[in-house]
Structure 1
Amino acid sequence: MAETNTVTIRGVSKAFGRGDAAVRVLHDVSVDIARQEFFTLLGPSGCGKTTLLRLVAGFEIADSGSIRIEGQDVTHAPPFRRPVNTVFQNYALFPHLTVEQNVAFSLEEQRLPRDQIRQRVGEALEMVRMQTYARRRPSDLSGGQQQRVALARALAPRPKLLLLDEPLSALDLKLRKEMQIELKQLQAEAGITFLFVTHDQEEALALSDRVAVMQGGRILQMGPPREIYEAPTHRFVADFIGDINLLDGEATGGGVRVAGGQTLPVQVSRPGPVTLAIRPERARLVAAGTGVMDATLVHSAYLGTATLHKLQLASGGDFLIRQSDPVQAAPEKGSRVGIALPTDALQVLQE
Structure 2
Amino acid sequence: MSGQDTVTIRDVSKAFGRGEAAVHVLRDVSVDIARQEFFTLLGPSGCGKTTLLRLIAGFETADSGTIRIEGQDVTHAPSFRRPVNTVFQNYALFPHLTVEQNVAFSLEEQRLPREQIRQRVGEALEMVRMQSFARRRPSDLSGGQQQRVALARALAPRPKLLLLDEPLSALDLKLRKEMQIELKQLQAEAGITFLFVTHDQEEALALSDRVAVMQGGRILQMGPPREIYDAPTHRFVADFIGDINLLEGEALGGGGVRVVGGLTAPALASKPGRVTLAIRPERARLVAAGAGELEATLVHSAFLGTATLHKLQLAGGGDFLIRQSDPAEAAPEKGSRVGVALPADALQVLQE
Contact 1:87 1:163 in 2 (8 A): yes
**TM-aligned CA deviation for residue 282 of structure 1:** 0.2
The structural deviation recorded for 1:215 is 0.2
Aligned partners of 2:166 and 2:255: how far apart in 1? Answer: 46
Instruction: Give 1:326 deviation, angstroms.
Output: 2.5
Given that 1:261 and 1:293 are in contact with CA atoms closer than 8 Å, whether structure 2 keeps it comes out as: no
Measured against aligned partners, the alpha-carbon deviations of 1:206-243 in whole angstroms (never above 9, x if no partner) come to: 00000000000000000000000000000000000000
Q: Distance in 2 between matches of 1:325 and 1:181?
A: 27
For 2:121, what is the secondary structure of its paired residue? Answer: helix
**Conserved? CA contact 1:299–1:311, under 8 Å:** yes
**Is contact 1:289–1:338 with CA below 8 Å preserved after alignment?**
yes
Question: Are the equivalent residues in 2 in contact too, given 1:254–1:263 (CA < 8 A)?
Answer: no
Q: Any gaps of 5 or more consecutive residues in structure 1?
A: none
Counterparts of 1:198 and 1:327 in 2: how far apart (Å)? 36
2:279 matched to which residue of 1? 278
Deviation of 1:137 (Å): 0.1
Contact kept, 8 Å, 2:314 with 2:320, in 1: the verdict is yes
Q: Deviations over 1:298-330 (max 9, x none)?
A: 000001110000000122200000001133111
- Residue 21 (structure 1) shift: 1.0
Q: Is this contact kept in 2: 1:261–1:292, CA < 8 A?
A: no
Distance 1:63 1:22 in 2: 12
Q: Give every structure 1 segment of 4 or more consecutive aligned residues whose post-TM-superposition deviation is greater than 6 Å.
A: none
1-structure distance, mates of 2:234, 2:3: 32
Deviation at 1:261, TM superposition (A): 4.5
> Do 1:37 and 1:193's aligned partners in 2 also have CA atoms closer than 8 Å?
yes
What residue is the counterpart of 2:243 in the other structure? Answer: 243
Deviation at 1:20, TM superposition (A): 1.4
Distance in 1 (CA, whole Å) between partners of 2:255 and 2:50 is 44
Once the two structures are overlaid, the 10-residue window that deviates more, 15-24 or 154-163, is 15-24
Query: What number of residue pairs does the alignment pair up?
Result: 350
Tell me if the contact between 2:261 and 2:316 (Cα under 8 Å) persists in the aligned partners: yes
Q: How far off is 1:2 after superposition?
A: 7.3
CA contact (8 A) 2:159 2:192 kept: yes
Deviation at 1:257, TM superposition (A): 1.1
Q: Render the CA deviation track for 1:181-226: whole Å, top value 9, x for unaligned.
A: 0000000000000000000000000000000000000000000000
Counterpart-to-counterpart distance in 2, 1:187 and 1:350: 37
Q: Give the TM-score of the pair, scaled to structure 2.
A: 0.98
Judge conservation of contact 1:40–1:211 (CA < 8 Å) in 2: yes
State the SS of the aligned residue for 1:33: strand
Relative distance call for 1:2 and 1:315 in structure 2 (3 A) is closer
Q: 1:326 to 1:265 in 2, by over 3 A?
A: closer
- How far, CA to CA, are the matches of 1:230 and 1:30 in structure 2? 23
Secondary structure at 2:179 match in 1: helix
1:166 maps to 166
Secondary structure, aligned partner of 2:100: helix
For residues 108-143 of structure 1, what are the alpha-carbon distances to aligned partners after superposition, in whole Å with 9 as ceiling and x for unaligned? Answer: 000000000000000000000000000000000000
Q: Deviations over 1:7-38 (max 9, x none)?
A: 00000000001111111000000000000000
The answer (yes or no) to whether the contact 1:15–1:22 under 8 Å persists in 2 is: yes
Structure 1 residue 269: Cα displacement: 1.4
The residue that corresponds to 1:310 in the other structure is 311
Equivalent residues of 2:48, 2:214 under 8 A apart: yes
Q: Alpha carbon RMSD of aligned pairs, Å? A: 1.0
The separation in 1 between residues aligned to 2:81 and 2:159, in whole angstroms, is: 12
Runs of 5+ unmatched residues, structure 2? none
Identical-pair percentage: 90
Q: How big is the shift at 1:350?
A: 3.8
User: Is 1:347 the equivalent of 2:348?
Assistant: yes
The whole-number CA distance in structure 1 between the counterparts of 2:144 and 2:327 is 36
Is 324-333 or 161-170 further displaced after alignment? 324-333
Contact 1:307 1:324 (8 Å CA) reproduced: yes
Measure, in 1, the Cα distance between the counterparts of 2:238 and 2:351.
10
SS of residue paired to 2:135 = coil
